[in-house]
Amino acid sequence: MAVMDDRGFFLTLQAIRRQLTAMPNELYLVRLIHHQTRRAFPGERLWTADQLGSAATVRFLRARNREGCDIYVQPYAGRQNAGYILVDLDRAQPAVIATMRAQGHDPCVVLQTSPGHLQAWIRLSASPLEPALATGAGKLLALAYGGDCASTDWRHLGRLAGFTNQKPARRTAAGYAPWVKVIGAKLGLAPRAEALLQSATALVSPDRAQGSGPHSTFQDSAPTHILASWPPKSTGPV
């Protein structure tokens, strides 16, 4: 049992380090949610990458995960977005990541949260983004790639690799909770990050915001010339 525990510890440690290395930031906000009760573990914690990758932290998080907590993370920049956008591909098409790369929206991190379900982090800026701009960019990406438009706010958290997904619906036929795995990690900004931010800026301009009612949808409030040309055509080979 000790050998298995040690192997599990090092696999979790390796997954955490691989994810955070590809999405560097000064601080990360970590939130633990007990799946059965939907209650957050007391306190939201800010850790550096080194602290998150320490033996004590990994053991603490693994213990909470075994107790039924899902482990979530977000690069932290206070009241701004840290430059990373999460695209929650809850029903991912097989070629979606290749399509994102062909369009210049290369993810820096791709996670398999359970078979057929992906989360992609895309870095759009090396400096913090205003919340409205980050949310607009997230909505455009979700629209383009079939992501969950309800998971596009600027401070949405994604899963931390190396832990199990506690959703009962995601369990295997044998009843096991699936592991959250890193299936892609590449440091750097998305090649078409600047163009995407320009499109998102048009969505959140003051004149558009004033015309959006409380019950309007994203498609209702977005300028039609942007939606008509979205997603952009690929400018290079796949």
* pLDDT digit string, tens, across residues 8-27: 899 999 999 999 999 999 99
Mean of the per-residue pLDDT values for the chain?
85
Whether 143 maps to a domain, the answer reads: yes
Write the CA distances from 206 to 87, 130, 133, 193, 216, integer angstroms.
Answer: 25, 14, 12, 22, 16
- Residue 97, pLDDT above cutoff 90: yes
Contact 33, 72 (CB under 8 A): yes
Whether 51 maps to a domain, the answer reads: yes
pLDDT at 185: 98
Contact 103, 231 (CB under 8 A): yes
pLDDT at 206: 54
Whether 238 maps to a domain, the answer reads: no
- Residue 39, pLDDT above cutoff 80: no
Residues with Cβ < 8 Å from 109, sequence gap 6 or more? Answer: 19, 22, 23, 120, 121, 182, 184, 185
Rounded to whole angstroms, how far apart are CA atoms 39 and 21? Answer: 29
pLDDT at 167: 82
Burial class for 26, CB neighbours closer than 10 Å (0-12, 13-18, 19+): exposed
pLDDT at 229: 52
- Residue 1, pLDDT above cutoff 70: no
- Give residue 28's domain range: 2-228
Q: What is the CATH number of the domain that holds 188?
A: 3.30.70.1790
Whether 176 maps to a domain, the answer reads: yes
Rounded to whole angstroms, how far apart are CA atoms 73 and 31? Answer: 6
What's the total number of domains in the chain?
1
**CA-based nearest residue to 10, from 162, 182, 186, 166:** 162
Contact 159, 119 (CB under 8 A): yes
- Residue 137, pLDDT above cutoff 90: yes
For 204-215, write each residue's pLDDT tens digit.
775 444 444 433
Q: Which amino acid is at 179?
A: W
pLDDT at 225: 43
Q: Are strands 117-123 and 84-89 parallel, antiparallel or unpaired?
A: antiparallel
Whether 29 maps to a domain, the answer reads: yes
For 42-82, write each residue's pLDDT tens digit.
766 899 999 999 999 999 999 999 999 999 999 999 999 99
* Tokens (6 digits) for 81: 């977005």
Whether 235 maps to a domain, the answer reads: no
Whether 236 maps to a domain, the answer reads: no
- Report the b/e string of 211-227 with b at 16+ CB within 10 A: eeeeeeebeebbeeeee
Whether 174 maps to a domain, the answer reads: yes
Contact 74, 158 (CB under 8 A): yes
Residues with Cβ < 8 Å from 106, sequence gap 6 or more? Answer: 100, 122, 186, 188, 190, 191
